[in-house]
Amino acid sequence: MKRLLALASLAFALTGGAMAQETTVPETPPADTQEVTPAAPQWTGPEITLQTTMGDIVITLDTVGAPKTAAQFLGLVKSGHYNGASFYRIEPGFVIQLGDLDAKLVYRAPKLKTVKLETETNSHALGAVALAHAEDPDSGQSTFYIDMGENAGLNATPGAPPNTTGYAVFGHVTAGMDVARAIEAVELAPEGGPFPGKLPKTPVVVKKAIVTKPE
């Protein structure tokens, strides 16, 4: 298992002292990452629309397989937390990530509650949406990512105790995958951000995140 990169220390440097509580998924894609066709929608939970500067992405939440994680995300959407959030990690074929930094890379989630890991039924297929966490599997808050490939290496470890490994998939992109692809293809800055070389040269921002289909 590749070493996790601590976003906490990076956010501390970016914000002049505001210590982040989250980390992220591994720095590089698992060796078996490959291009696949998105899975057919399998959930009928609430729908969230991320109105980004490059178009809309619709996420259908999995309130059955990851109820606590989906509820955390839904609550953050309703509170306006993701309005102004920027994509700060672009790794083609792996993930696009956002949630706790704005376009100026200011950390914006210092007092959010954490959520216990839920990985018993999930799968990191293309278009899956999952919550990032630190080395503590129960430390996820608001940072999330969209899988841009078949990332089986991010699933729970077979044979491990339930809900102790992997990352919680709490939804799936059910419309706007073309927008996610466009974001994946943006020009990247050679430096800057918590992941040098993976930050969009021109910020890609969530103008507003809204609930478009309620519970």
Per-residue pLDDT of the chain (215 residues; tens, 9 = 90+): 333 333 333 332 222 333 334 555 666 555 444 444 454 446 679 999 999 999 999 999 999 999 999 999 999 999 999 999 999 999 999 999 999 999 999 998 778 899 999 998 779 999 999 999 999 999 999 999 999 999 999 999 999 999 999 999 999 999 999 999 999 999 999 999 999 999 999 999 999 999 999 87
Q: Is residue 46 part of a domain?
A: yes
Overall domain count for the chain? 1
Residues 162-180 as b or e (16 or more Cβ within 10 Å = b): eeebbbbbbbbbbebbebb
Paired with 147 in beta bridges are 95
Q: Is residue 29 part of a domain?
A: yes
Domain of residue 167 covers: 7-213
Q: Is residue 40 part of a domain?
A: yes
First-to-last C-alpha distance (Å) of the chain: 36
Question: What CATH number is associated with residue 28?
Answer: 2.40.100.10
* pTM of this structure: 0.84
Q: Is residue 44 part of a domain?
A: yes
Q: Is residue 1 part of a domain?
A: no
